[in-house]
């Protein structure tokens, strides 16, 4: 039976100069409101031991708009500003529930420029999207169609460091589960092989960052030579950002294809619960681990298995998958990273990664 899920469709669009100016002002106001509310909540929590609610910050926003210094907040749509306060509220809820770190201030240079519009702040008519405070619809490049009859509930507009504009449209969509299959697979994440499967297959790591490393280094050297504050430096910074964007786009595309394939071919997928944040502290491997983007692959597997009626199992990070013989169960005392093949006391020679993937599959199924 098809299930109703919320799904975001992301498209590139090309704003007019007037639209770009309106969105830039909106981004700045969103960042300002978020930082002001975070500052007030931090003050109340630190000095008074008091938690400030979303309702209180919403009242603060109304008061800020009436002051001469912050009157410009009333010149943009109020919905993205309210949404910024809701996101901050969610950040504090996650912090107090010990699911996330304490919220941080948004930086004009480092934070993603974005604004979220709910249904009351945009018009969707005949496949054309018009945001609040704008007289004309956005010029969207429809790289793929929205589901037939879909009605957007939320629209998020963003502008990346490479100068590209994107709109993410959230809709409710009915997704039919895939036909059941008897296949099950264990996945061992790695650096040389991005994923080694319990079937014995190894998915080579494309190493997108390494492929563009020379181009990136050249762009960064050119940026370093430019005078700070000059137009040439701004152009050089844009060139660097475009190289980073190319790397990220290619990596994301590859991970989407890999995760979709794993979900389509297998009823159950078993992975390890890797502590990536701790692993990147190894400076010798940090660059390669970040380029592999294991956390993003796991995230894709999580929502795709939920969408398509598949099962994702996660094995404890301390499970000795590499040191355990997948045939007789003998556990070795040590297994240095340099050892890629080893022979067990039972006489069987193992490929380190394939053996680990087999153990991950068995451990996941055992913990069901």
Residue 62, pLDDT score: 96
Residue 294, pLDDT score: 87
Does position 278 have pLDDT exceeding 70, yes or no? no
Q: Please pick, among 188, 212, 253, 296, the residue that the annotation labels catalytic.
A: 188
SS3 155: strand
Active site (annotated) includes residue 160: no
Residue 318, pLDDT score: 87
- More confident: 243 or 277: 243
Mean pLDDT of the chain: 92
- More confident: 273 or 122: 122
Q: Please pick, among 22, 173, 209, 353, the residue that the annotation labels catalytic.
A: 353
Residue 276, pLDDT score: 66
150 near 171, Cβ under 8 Å? yes
SS3 166: strand
Active site (annotated) includes residue 188: yes
**What is the spatial distance between Cα 83 and Cα 127, in angstroms, rounded to a whole number?**
24
Q: Please pick, among 22, 209, 272, 291, the residue that the annotation labels catalytic.
A: 272
Closest CA to 314 of 186, 151, 128: 186
**Mean pLDDT over residues 249-258, rounded?**
95
360 near 366, Cβ under 8 Å? no
Domain boundaries, the chain: 3-175, 184-205+259-366
Closest CA to 341 of 319, 356, 363, 330: 356
**What is the spatial distance between Cα 84 and Cα 173, in angstroms, rounded to a whole number?**
26
Share of the chain above pLDDT 90, in %: 73
Collect all residues with Cβ–Cβ distance below 8 Å to 266 and sequence separation of at least 6.
Answer: 181, 183, 184, 185, 310
**Mean pLDDT over residues 313-317, rounded?**
92
105 near 99, Cβ under 8 Å? no
CA angle 331, 191, 288 (to 5 degrees): 130
pLDDT in tens, 112-170: 899 999 999 999 998 999 999 999 999 999 999 999 888 999 999 999 999 999 999 99
**What is the spatial distance between Cα 98 and Cα 93, in angstroms, rounded to a whole number?**
9
pLDDT in tens, 48-61: 889 999 999 999 99
pLDDT in tens, 19-41: 999 999 999 999 999 999 999 99
Does position 285 have pLDDT exceeding 80, yes or no? no
Residue 103, pLDDT score: 95
């Amino acid at each position: 039976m098809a299930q109703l899920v919320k799904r975001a469709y992301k498209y590139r669009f090309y704003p007019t100069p007037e639209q770009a100016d309106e969105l830039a002002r909106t981004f700045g106001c969103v960042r300002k409101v978020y930082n002001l509310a975070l500052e007030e909540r931090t003050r109340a929590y630190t000095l008074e031991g008091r938690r400030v609610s979303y309702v209180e910050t919403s009242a603060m926003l109304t008061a800020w708009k009436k002051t001469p210094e912050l009157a410009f907040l009333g010149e943009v749509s109020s919905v993205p500003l309210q949404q910024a306060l809701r996101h901050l509220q969610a950040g504090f809820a996650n912090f107090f529930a010990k699911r996330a770190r304490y919220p941080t201030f948004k930086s004009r240079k480092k934070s993603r420029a974005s604004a979220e519009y709910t249904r009351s702040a945009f018009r969707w008519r005949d496949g054309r999207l018009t945001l609040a405070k704008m007289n004309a619809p956005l010029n969207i490049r429809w790289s793929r169609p929205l589901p037939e009859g879909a009605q957007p509930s939320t629209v998020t507009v963003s502008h990346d460091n490479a100068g590209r504009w994107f709109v993410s449209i959230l809709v409710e969509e009915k997704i039919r589960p895939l036909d059941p299959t008897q296949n099950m697979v264990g996945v061992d994440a790695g650096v040389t092989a991005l994923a080694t499967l319990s079937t014995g297959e190894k998915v080579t790591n494309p190493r997108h960052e390494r492929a563009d490393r020379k181009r990136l280094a050249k762009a960064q050297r050119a940026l370093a030579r430019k005078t700070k504050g000059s137009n040439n430096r701004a152009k050089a910074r844009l060139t660097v950002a475009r190289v980073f964007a190319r790397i990220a786009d290619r990596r994301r595309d590859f991970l989407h294809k890999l995760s979709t394939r794993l979900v389509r071919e297998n009823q159950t997928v078993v992975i390890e619960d890797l502590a990536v944040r701790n692993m990147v502290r190894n400076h010798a491997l940090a660059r390669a681990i970040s380029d592999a983007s294991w956390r993003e692959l796991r995230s894709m597997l999580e929502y795709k298995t939920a969408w398509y009626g598949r099962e994702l199992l996660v094995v404890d990070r301390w499970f000795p998958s590499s040191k355990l013989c997948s045939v007789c169960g003998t556990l070795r005392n040590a297994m240095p990273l340099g050892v890629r093949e080893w022979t067990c006391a039972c006489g069987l020679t193992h490929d380190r990664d394939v053996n680990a993937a087999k153990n991950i599959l068995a451990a996941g199924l055992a913990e069901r």
